[in-house]
Amino acid sequence: MKTLKLLSLLLAVTMAVTACGGAAAPTAAPAAAGGTIKIATQTPLSGGLAAVGEGMKNAVQLAVEQNSGPLKAMGFTVQVVPFDDQAKPEVGVANAKNIISDPDILGVVGHYNSGVQIPSSEEYHGASLVNVSPANTNPKVTDRLYLEVNRVCGRDDIQGVVGEQFALNELKAKSVYILHDKTTYGQSIAEFFRKAAEKDGLKVLGFEGTEEKANFDPILTPIQAANPDLIYFGGMFDQAGVMFKQARDKGIKATFMGPDGLDSADLVKIAGDAAKGMYYTTVAGPVSYYPEAAKFATDYKAKFGKDPEPFGAQAYDSTVILLKSIEKAAKDAGNKKPTRAAVRDAVRATKDFKGLTGSITFDSKGDPAIAKYFVIQVGTSDPAKWGENKAVKTLDIPAPPPPSK
């Protein structure tokens, strides 16, 4: 009995100390007058897509470090709260519920996967919490016309057409075999590519979806027999890399092409020489393309020891937009912590914001009024040189009008 009492007392004391210690940790500085403002990030930090997800999170942290001066001067402490959505919709939604329950979080920078962003943003919408997305390209993201959802990148309904036009006009392809990964993002952009191809007379020899990650033989054999000029894979680099490698191993000679989901150094890490010479479209150019981003690249390398990942610059811009909007909303509230609704409105009102990736103005649905689209060719099978891939075509295309109800 005595030992039990002693043990439970010890346990209670330990828990109390941990609770106090835990509460003390986040506020690094002595209690600031204005309070704490938090920016949440939701990206995949584990799993096959972790490389890009980590890169986005790091870019957000760098942006907060470099741009939270004005807010700090007002007396606020600014923090980044990272969440791992594992590229899974259920996890994204669960995290979103956690995020909205923390009143200090005034904005979310994320996600990487449209299929995760769409259900998670239903939660943000319910709590008037603004979400600035660096990388979600599915049209449905903004077509729901939520005030809370904005993105700094382009859309798949245009990206798919850009890819198809390039294949038709530049690559002079006569036939294409389209594959997708059955996710919201992959299937949707594959559909856009197919619609455009059918409209322009580019022969679609096949359209198949697969979740297979290891053994692509059953899918590749019919492709080999159909002998297309081009294979388009709507999906992510971790799956595409394996498929392209196995396709070359089987002797398939078609050109490979895909959307921005293929944009990662891990693609050549997995596929090696199979990926050399292939093309991908993206809404985020290589860092070397943006003149303003040179300093960001050096700062990122100095802080994290490696080159920025794709969508890193976009994540940086998203964060700065968010910070500037919070500043404005705070000033309007008399230098006090603003409400989420005020921040949301300030973000949507962003006009001619000069970021690393260009000038951004949000239109009535949260799309950038004019977005850049790139077609990039993979120049080398060295993962370290991924940022040096050349953009063979760059387009500025305005966002489409909101869908008629």
Is residue 197 part of the contact set for another protein (CB under 8 A)?
no
Nearest to 277 by CA among 230, 207, 216: 230
Q: Which is nearer to another protein, 123 or 238 (by Cβ)?
A: 238
Tell which positions 255-284 bind another protein, by CB under 8 A. 269-270, 272
Would you mind telling me the total number of residues written for the chain in this entry?
Answer: 405
Cβ distance 233 to 180 under 8 Å? yes
From the list 11-19, 154-162, 249-257, 314-322, the region that binds another protein by CB under 8 A is 249-257
Is residue 174 part of the contact set for another protein (CB under 8 A)?
no
- Name the E strands within 159-293: 175-180, 203-209, 230-234, 255-258, 279-282
Instruction: Please state the closest distance from residue 46 (CB atom) to another protein, in A.
Output: 6
Instruction: Please state the closest distance from residue 208 (CB atom) to another protein, in A.
Output: 5
From the list 63-71, 106-114, 219-227, 335-343, the region that binds another protein by CB under 8 A is 219-227
Q: Using the rule CB under 8 A, which residue among 85, 123, 238, 367 binds another protein?
A: 238
Is residue 84 part of the contact set for another protein (CB under 8 A)?
no
Is residue 34 part of the contact set for another protein (CB under 8 A)?
no
Token pair for residue 313? 């610059």
Cβ distance 118 to 94 under 8 Å? no
Q: Using the rule CB under 8 A, which residue among 8, 14, 46, 298 binds another protein?
A: 46
Instruction: Please state the closest distance from residue 81 (CB atom) to another protein, in A.
Output: 21
Distance, CA of 231 to CA of 245 (rounded, Å): 13
Distance, CA of 279 to CA of 262 (rounded, Å): 9
Is residue 331 part of the contact set for another protein (CB under 8 A)?
no
Is residue 383 part of the contact set for another protein (CB under 8 A)?
no
Q: Using the rule CB under 8 A, which residue among 79, 246, 264, 357 binds another protein?
A: 246
Is residue 221 part of the contact set for another protein (CB under 8 A)?
yes
Hey, CA dihedral for 45, 50, 55, 56, is it positive or negative?
negative
Is residue 305 part of the contact set for another protein (CB under 8 A)?
no
- What 3-state class would DSSP assign to 153? coil
Is residue 183 part of the contact set for another protein (CB under 8 A)?
no
Tell which positions 199-218 bind another protein, by CB under 8 A. 206-210, 212-215, 217-218
Residue 40, C-beta contacts closer than 8 angstroms, at least 6 positions apart: 80, 81, 82, 83, 99, 102, 105, 107, 108, 109, 110
Environment class of 400 (CB within 10 Å of its CB; exposed 0-12, middle 13-18, buried 19+): middle
**Angle of helix 50-67 relative to helix 293-304, nearest 10 degrees?**
110
Q: Using the rule CB under 8 A, which residue among 169, 227, 361, 394 binds another protein?
A: 227
Binding site for another protein (CB under 8 A): 46-48, 50-51, 206-210, 212-215, 217-219, 221-222, 224-227, 238, 241-242, 245-246, 248-251, 269-270, 272
